[in-house]
Structure 1
Amino acid sequence: MLVSREGPHAERRFVEFFTARIRNRGTRANYARAARDFLAWCEAGGLSLRTIGPVHVAAYVERLGQTHSAPTVKLRLAALRMLLDDLVVGQVIPTNPAASVQGPRHVVKKGSTPVLRADEARQLLDAIDATTLVGLRDRAVIGVMVYSFARVSAAVGMNVEDYFPQGRRMWLRLHEKGGKRHDVPAHHNAEAYLDAYLEATGIRDERKGPLFRTVSPRRDLSLTRLHRTDVLRMIKRRARQAGLTTAVCCHTFRATGITAYLENGGLLEHAQRIAAHESVRTTKLYDRTSDAVSLDEIERIVI
């Protein structure tokens, strides 16, 4: 590997970049993939870490653009910039060859996350068999995501103690990206779903334990935390069972909740705070309230 050839110091700096500087697991995995592919491409081209120049990075970005989307290319270029900049600071290489390389232009004004209509979301929730432990769990997971705009990682990352009373209401404590803690009041439907789930499982007093857990082959609740890939498989299965044709993903419920909130007169600024977005522009990507208006206007074309 190119980094190993530069000696122990370069190897140590490379490892420290991913272990010490990047704390989010998802970001770490994406950046590691970007670094691995780029360095393998450079090695195949006979380059060393010190001979990589802007022209090589630009050629790699151009090649990536032929097989990957613009957002992916921009993400990978950002990862390379950050990694190589860290190697410059660590005196492994003299300059950052990615610093002057321009990525593809990509402006997003509307998100691509599939969104359910309010009646479709209700159809999905009502179709879940709430007489089983698995059904109660799945309904509670979806309820938390749709009624609090929570990311799936924040939902499955909750412990039992993260559903707690404050004043006259129950609250949810979500651990969001970047180590941020975000408290939000529990919607009465989410509260009902969680109470039913906790009552059936008997884990309410296991405060430090995972809130949402996997189920053993005997259909007993385990001690293992539910993973986001488990949730993805679950919601796709639940959507099929409910007869929904819209393709869904974990982020669907975040976007669905935000859209339903705005359709009922909620303010974008408040939606931003509930969703714990840094920028209102990010929240706007989830807003599909204008879709129906656009369709109405299209139907005015009478030929």
Structure 2
Amino acid sequence: MMAEGERAATRYIEFFTAQIRNPNTRAAYARAASAFFGWCEQHGLALPAIQPVHIATYVEQIGRELSAPSVKQQLAAIRMLFDWLVVGQVVPHNPASAVRGPKHSAAKGKTRMPTREEAKALLASIPTDSLVGLRDRALIGTLLFTFARVGAALTMRVEDYYPIGKRWWVRLHEKGGKHHEMPCHHSLQEYLDAYIEAAGIAQDRRSPLFRTAEGRTGRLNSQAMSQPDVYRMIQRRAEAAGVATKIGCHSWRARGITAYLENGGLLEHAQQMAGHASARTTKLYDRRGEQISLDEVERITL
């Protein structure tokens, strides 16, 4: 891309800095664009020479190694980038617009989630005699009881936990700059109250709610935790609790939604609580059918 001239290079950089605001989307699209143009360079394709057949060949090639959703995401990144280049008059047309991605439909999400017993055991195993333990329990509780994405939880400030009347509420900073507010579950309120009091941050309203620890000192600094920090923490807590299921940050969103539905909650309410635009997305997190399937499999006896 840089070899195509200063104008193309500038437009390319502007795409990621000015057009895409979500940092996770920006990183994913940057990887996709870098991989595609690296492939073009290997095949001697300059930017003006790229045609739909080249993009279709690339999509077919990566489809042998990547899942259908990953291929669709990479194609979406390439298509969106070329749209940006067309608007900037760098190229005359979008060669990716006519290329179709692989078909993909899913009735159930792939996110692994802990069983009810594993979730309870993990939360109970977190030591509450340390500030880091109280923080970890409060963070996992936030993911579980609010169905929050980890990114939404990590951007919370202390002021995003607030009272309305006699009830406390939480405010999540979701994708696209949207704020999602909901009442705080009584268990989560207990976790957050204990953590905030121990951390002494109640008056520091504009500061990050979930903060990083200073090495092994047990003290917290003023910096917000990162997503890799949370993933590593969950792995440590799961190992200590003897959780066999391979879980991550998103696992608690699935566990919370499934628990809600198992206890008689309505799908449309779960959709609203999770901040999903479509009930079909919420349904991907509903794992009640897995237990039914297991019960039916056990009927196979000789």
Do Structure 1 and Structure 2 share a fold, with TM-score over 0.5? yes
Match of 1:264 in 2: 263
Paired AA for residue 81 in structure 2 = L
Does residue 199 of the first structure (1) align with residue 197 of the second (2)? yes
Where does the alignment leave 5 or more consecutive residues of structure 1 unmatched? none
Match of 2:295 in 1: 296
Contact 2:114 2:251 in 1 (8 A): yes
Residues 86-105 of structure 1, C-alpha deviations (whole Å, 9 max, x = no match): 11111111111111111111
Partner Cα separation in structure 2 for residue 292 and residue 145 of structure 1? 23
Partner Cα separation in structure 2 for residue 119 and residue 132 of structure 1? 24
Residues 73-113 of structure 1, C-alpha deviations (whole Å, 9 max, x = no match): 11000110110111111111111111111111111110011
Does residue 53 of the first structure (1) align with residue 39 of the second (2)? no
Does residue 88 of the first structure (1) align with residue 86 of the second (2)? yes
Partner Cα separation in structure 1 for residue 173 and residue 45 of structure 2? 42
Partner Cα separation in structure 2 for residue 256 and residue 78 of structure 1? 30
Match of 1:103 in 2: 101
Residues 199-236 of structure 1, C-alpha deviations (whole Å, 9 max, x = no match): 11100100011101011132211111111110000001
Does residue 273 of the first structure (1) align with residue 272 of the second (2)? yes
Residues 25-46 of structure 1, C-alpha deviations (whole Å, 9 max, x = no match): 0000000000011011101111
Once the two structures are superposed, the pairs formed by residues 149-228 of structure 1 within 5 Å of their partners are: 149-217=147-215, 218-228=217-227
Partner Cα separation in structure 2 for residue 166 and residue 221 of structure 1? 28
Once the two structures are superposed, the pairs formed by residues 120-131 of structure 1 within 5 Å of their partners are: 120-131=118-129
Report the alpha carbon displacement of residue 264 of structure 1 after superposing the two structures with TM.
0.1
Report the alpha carbon displacement of residue 294 of structure 1 after superposing the two structures with TM.
1.3
Report the secondary structure of 1:262's partner residue: helix
Once the two structures are superposed, the pairs formed by residues 228-239 of structure 1 within 5 Å of their partners are: 228-239=227-238
Match of 1:287 in 2: 286
Report the alpha carbon displacement of residue 60 of structure 1 after superposing the two structures with TM.
0.6
Give the aligned length. 301
Report the alpha carbon displacement of residue 147 of structure 1 after superposing the two structures with TM.
0.4
Moved over 3 A (4+): none
Q: Quick one: percent identity of the two aligned structures?
A: 57
Moved more, 292-301 or 235-244: 292-301
Report the alpha carbon displacement of residue 131 of structure 1 after superposing the two structures with TM.
0.6
Residues 104-148 of structure 1, C-alpha deviations (whole Å, 9 max, x = no match): 111111001111222221111000000111100000000000000
Once the two structures are superposed, the pairs formed by residues 130-141 of structure 1 within 5 Å of their partners are: 130-141=128-139
Residues 145-176 of structure 1, C-alpha deviations (whole Å, 9 max, x = no match): 00000111111111100001112111100000
Paired AA for residue 51 in structure 2 = G
Partner Cα separation in structure 2 for residue 293 and residue 252 of structure 1? 20
Paired AA for residue 271 in structure 2 = Q
Residues 218-272 of structure 1, C-alpha deviations (whole Å, 9 max, x = no match): 2211111111110000001100100110100100000000000000000000000
Partner Cα separation in structure 2 for residue 179 and residue 251 of structure 1? 20
Report the secondary structure of 2:163's partner residue: strand
Report the secondary structure of 1:50's partner residue: helix
Once the two structures are superposed, the pairs formed by residues 245-256 of structure 1 within 5 Å of their partners are: 245-256=244-255
RMSD: 0.9
Paired AA for residue 261 in structure 1 = Y
Paired AA for residue 209 in structure 1 = S
Partner Cα separation in structure 2 for residue 34 and residue 203 of structure 1? 41
Match of 1:19 in 2: 17
Report the alpha carbon displacement of residue 58 of structure 1 after superposing the two structures with TM.
0.8
Report the alpha carbon displacement of residue 300 of structure 1 after superposing the two structures with TM.
2.4
Partner Cα separation in structure 2 for residue 167 and residue 279 of structure 1? 31
Partner Cα separation in structure 1 for residue 41 and residue 8 of structure 2? 16
Report the secondary structure of 2:49's partner residue: coil
Match of 1:31 in 2: 29
Moved more, 241-250 or 217-226: 217-226
Residues 13-32 of structure 1, C-alpha deviations (whole Å, 9 max, x = no match): 21111111110000000000
Does residue 66 of the first structure (1) align with residue 82 of the second (2)? no
Report the secondary structure of 1:290's partner residue: helix
Partner Cα separation in structure 1 for residue 38 and residue 177 of structure 2? 32
